[in-house]
A and B are shown apart, each in its own frame.
Chain A
Amino acid sequence: MVKTDIAQEPVGPEHEPETEWMELNMGPHHPSTHGVLRVRLKLDGEIVRDADADIGYLHTGFEKSFEDKTYTQGITFSDRMDYLAPPINNVGFVSAVEKLIGVEVPPRAQAIRVIMMELARVSSHELWLGTTGLDLGVYSGFFYAWRDRDLALDLNEAYSGVRMMTSFTRVGGVAWDLPEGWLDQLQKFIDVMPARLDDFESMLTDNPIWHQRLKGVGVISAHDAIEAGVTGPVLRASGVNYDVRKAFPYCGYENYDFEVPVGTNGDCYDRYRMRVAEMRQSLRILQQAVDNLPGGPWITSDRKVALPPRSELSKSMEAVIHQFRLVSEGFKGPVGDVYAFVESPRGELGFYLVSDGTNKPYRMKVRPPSFCNLQSLRKLVQGVLVADVIAIMGSLDFILGDCDR
């Protein structure tokens, strides 16, 4: 219908209606939310004025479930939280238990853990590269990333039998020694990956579109980053040199020669650079771990926490008793509370374990890096364009399974 009285409407800035912000739901099923996340955006035209992240869609009550399971049973829960870096969750969980009960981990087990964790870091960053590129329009990169990540998953499968939920740690060591030929397969991975990363970098690092989408977008200063409690590559991109592997070495990280990439601008582009550089450092660590892999046992000989070898069961009554006790009720921890933490691809993953002296955690609080990083989203998106929200969310690299637990 044609509006006829348009000439009678008052004009001029004093007659313009007060700005009304439009509320837009991004998600819960938006592809860029990587999981199920709803962000309520308040929009002034194309500009974001405020944002409220609504999380919890993947809340599964893992912390409650830990309280019902023995320490060994809890390991399988741990890798289902951050499903893109399960080995790192496994190690974080058992290191809290090991700290509580005070078990020594043999050097070979520590090296195997390092190898699995660095593989997980590479595969997680590869996936991040693929999916974030996809969000920003780099469709072909996704397939390259998937191809390369698959190599790491093949290694997971060859070692643990499972491609993702490895559950390979045990309190005091790892569940199995490396299978025959596995190190050769790993060596092939280490050899092929630098060229593949070069391919990626030639596609993105100097790509003008990639620069336009990421440079100067989502800037957070070092002070703000610390105040917001962000961690991992997001914190380091802002110039804070904090990596758990360097600051508080665990699993023998002090014996490996690697660098922690630190950014300067704290924008999305620096976060991208951090992750690519971290992958190269992870490959360096992997090479050193392969070259210097110690021999010896891969799990502690403390029979109070680790199962006896099968060969002992037919000869030793004590071994049978230990086996029975460990399988039926597990082991008990002393009364106390500890916090143990590892560097996941997303930042500091911590486990706060409270024990009341029984065979189960009395309380297991997880400090998920995704949760802490996502908290900064509100501040990061205020005043940016809607399209940049996608880039910022991608650059934070949160995993909702990790965030919601």
Chain B
Amino acid sequence: MSANSSDTLVQRLGDRFKTAIQESSDFRGDLSVVVDPAGLVDVARYLRDQEGFDYLLYATAVDWPARDPRFTVVWEVRSLADKTRIRIKTTAAMPDPHVPSLTSVWPAANWHERETWDLFGIKFDGHADLRRILMPPTWEGFPLRKDYVSFGEPVIFSDQKLEGLEPDAIRG
């Protein structure tokens, strides 16, 4: 992608969505725009229909506990014809982080958004099937949040008891 074409894409987005596009950056050739959650679906639909971004690569989130809003939610899409990529970012705040779902624009976002809900606890409004996908349905907590400690799960050794359970009962 030439720097020129990305500039114009950002310009076009900025002209069209004056309030929704909050920020844009170009780091190592990767173009990102930060979009206000309220205008997210419109921007996404414009990118798909007018700019040819037909292929969703992934959706995920990044947890920044010290920031407010705390979560950055990321979708990255590609135009197969133009060989360009753009990263769409938006934010979600605690205590009830939620952002609009982009499954209506790119159906491939379905599992990616489920995974983001599963691992970060971010709700996607308008997602038809928001269930846990990698973790068991009964799992508590969201493992990829920064305050979820790695290797924090209790391990029961044969000489220990946990919450009244006899070790032998657990071993079956």
Contact = CB atoms under 8 A, between A and B. Distances in A.
B74 to A, nearest CB: 7
Interface in B51-96: 54-58, 60, 62-63, 74, 76, 80, 83, 85, 87
Contacts of A67: 150
A65 B115 CA distance: 17
Given A100-B28, A354-B62, 6 more contacts: A227-B106, A227-B108, A229-B57, A362-B62, A375-B108, A375-B110
A226 B27 contact: no
Contact of A337 (B27, B106, B136, B143): B27
Given A63-B144, A352-B58, A339 B30 contact: yes
B58 A56 contact: no
Given A64-B143, A352-B74, A338 B54 contact: no
A61 B28 contact: no
Interface string A234-254: 000000101000011000000
Interface stretch (A114-122, A132-140, A364-372): A364-372
A68 interface: yes
B83 A248 contact: yes
Nearest to B111: A375
B118 to A, nearest CB: 8
27 contacts: A56-B132, A56-B133, A64-B144, A64-B150, A68-B150, A102-B28, A226-B55, A227-B108, A229-B55, A229-B106, A229-B108, A242-B80, A336-B27, A337-B87, A338-B28, A339-B30, A350-B57, A350-B58, A362-B62, A363-B60, A365-B58, A367-B57, A371-B115, A372-B108, A375-B110, A375-B111, A405-B134
A339 B76 contact: yes
Contacts, number: 84
Interface in A336-383: 336-339, 348, 350, 352, 354, 362-363, 365, 367, 371-372, 375
Contacts of B87: 337, 339
A404 interface: yes
A240 B80 contact: yes
Interface string B114-137: 010001000000000000111110
B107 interface: yes
A319 interface: no
A228 interface: yes
A371 B57 CA distance: 11
B80 A226 contact: yes
A102 B29 CA distance: 12
Interface in B8-39: 27-28, 30, 32
A233 to B, nearest CB: 16
Nearest to B115: A371
Contacts of A56: 132-136
B7 to A, nearest CB: 19
Contacts of A242: 80
A229 B144 CA distance: 24
Contacts of B119: 63
B150 to A, nearest CB: 6
B85 A371 contact: no
A93 B156 CA distance: 35
Interface residues of B, number: 34
Given A339-B85, A352-B74, A404-B134, A367 B27 contact: no
Given A63-B144, A339-B30, A367 B107 contact: no
Interface in A197-234: 226-229
Nearest to B55: A226
A68 B108 CA distance: 30
A404 B111 CA distance: 12
A372 B78 CA distance: 15
Given A240-B80, A350-B57, A337 B30 contact: yes
Contacts of B30: 337-339
Contacts of A64: 143-144, 148, 150
A385 B1 CA distance: 45
Contacts of B55: 226, 229
A64 B108 CA distance: 24
A188 interface: no
Interface in A61-82: 61, 63-65, 67-68
Nearest to A229: B108
**Across chains A and B, which 8 residue pairs bring their CB atoms closest together, nearest first?**
A229-B108, A56-B134, A367-B58, A365-B60, A59-B134, A336-B27, A375-B111, A363-B62
A99 B27 CA distance: 10
B84 to A, nearest CB: 11
Nearest to A241: B80
Given A247-B83, A362-B62, A365-B58, A59 B144 contact: no
A86 B18 CA distance: 45
A307 B51 CA distance: 45
A289 interface: no
